[in-house]
Amino acid sequence: MGFRVFLALGVAASIGLGSLAAEAAKPRKKPPMAADDRYAALVVDAETGEVLLARDAELPRHPASLTKIMTAYMTFDALERGRLRLSDRLPVSVHAANQSPTKLGLQAGERIAVEDAILGVIAKSANDAAVVLAEALAGSEEAFAEAMTQRARRLGMRQSDFRNASGLPHPEQFSSARDMAILGRALIRDFPQYYGYFGRASFAYAERVYRNHNVLLELYDGTDGIKTGFTNASGYNLVASAVRDGRRLIGVVFGGESASWRNQHMMALLDRGFGKMSDAEVQVASASARTKAAKGSVVAAAQAQPVRPAEPRAVQRAAPAPQGSIETSFAVQVGAYRRIETAETRAIEAARLVPRLLAAAPVAIKSSQDSKGPLYRAQIAGLSKADARRACDRLKERQITCVVVPVEH
């Protein structure tokens, strides 16, 4: 019988973006990651950098096509400095044309306008277009990747090492949820005149219309960017920006189990983030959901002071939140399903309906087997019996069937 916990929240901190300091030394090679260590999440106030929700936000993760956010940042910088114009037509090399999908299908020897390449990178996540931009700016993709890493250091992205312009798999290409939030803030701050490209729902090129992979632009009110990513090594990644009542949040998710789960999870995180922005103090909970010792348990909510970097370019690690103790051995179960994606979605949707009681509770999927195959029970865990009963009562008021169950350890 398996038990998987997908969401827990980390410590409060602050991401600094100020004056640029001298470039840091070349980063050390990151250690390999275990196959299960793909998940990370972060939600920050885009204006202040205050961290509202976090989980494993400073640990190295494979960015996949989130890499293209930095490619876009470098391109916008070149446009701002006059090194490129949107109307410039860039040559397509054999190397660019030979990139693996996803791509526009560019042919070696043809040319593509800078603006079309930008839209291809952002909306289609086109690897060939990313390499075209890289070669135009640095002469080669390898040199461009080195420049990306150097710029990342100046922005304060301490966990990021880039090895290509597209995010295609590379064992030494890493970033982190915190670094991607820093990059998102920097891009919106430094290039507001170009940031709108990330909000384009579609674009047309060579008699074809391409839809933006970021479906939150249509699903979540206030979303205006930024970028999705996926490889087998990374899982389903997303950086999203949303504005409500004049306040902007940036959310980051690494290692989603599916595209639908990633999207639902991001929406739930943003809901919680907007809910916390009005609070005088941010209450957070931290848990290690992937260790065998945890077995689905959750550490009680605790307070932590924001951490502000001594130098704007550096991101300091937050001190661990003090751990409390509380009986959290019950869960609200909202159904059993044949598909794990359905179970995940139902649990996340239920948690969003009762945020006061379930905002800090981890969504969990309990797997079992019957004569028809796998069965996945959708649960919101880490609750006291009283809170579980109250949450279930609220769900029943909304016509959601649920039961309170003890968590098996």
pLDDT of residue 276: 82
pLDDT of residue 8: 40
Please list the active-site residues.
Answer: 65, 68, 125
Cα 117 from Cα 133, distance rounded (Å): 7
pLDDT of residue 262: 93
**pTM greater than 0.75 (yes/no):** no
pLDDT of residue 204: 92
pLDDT, tens digit only, all 409 positions of the chain:
443 434 444 334 455 554 323 333 344 444 444 335 899 999 999 988 999 999 999 999 999 999 999 999 999 999 999 999 999 999 999 999 999 999 999 999 999 999 999 999 999 999 999 999 999 999 999 999 999 999 999 999 999 999 999 999 999 999 999 999 999 999 999 999 999 999 999 999 998 999 999 999 999 999 999 999 999 999 999 999 999 988 999 999 999 989 999 999 999 999 999 988 755 333 332 333 333 222 222 222 223 222 222 233 333 323 333 333 334 589 999 988 888 878 888 888 888 888 888 877 788 888 888 888 888 888 998 889 999 999 999 998 888 888 999 886 5
pLDDT of residue 372: 83
Domains and CATH numbers, the chain: 9-277 (3.40.710.10), 330-406 (3.30.70.1070)
pLDDT of residue 92: 98
Cα 194 from Cα 190, distance rounded (Å): 9
pLDDT of residue 375: 87
Q: Mind spelling out the 3-state secondary structure of 329-397?
A: CEEEEEEEECCHHHHHHHHHHHHHHCHHHHCCCCEEEEEEEECCEEEEEEEEEEECHHHHHHHHHHHHH
pLDDT of residue 318: 32
Q: Which helix (H) or strand (E) holds 225?
A: strand 223-231
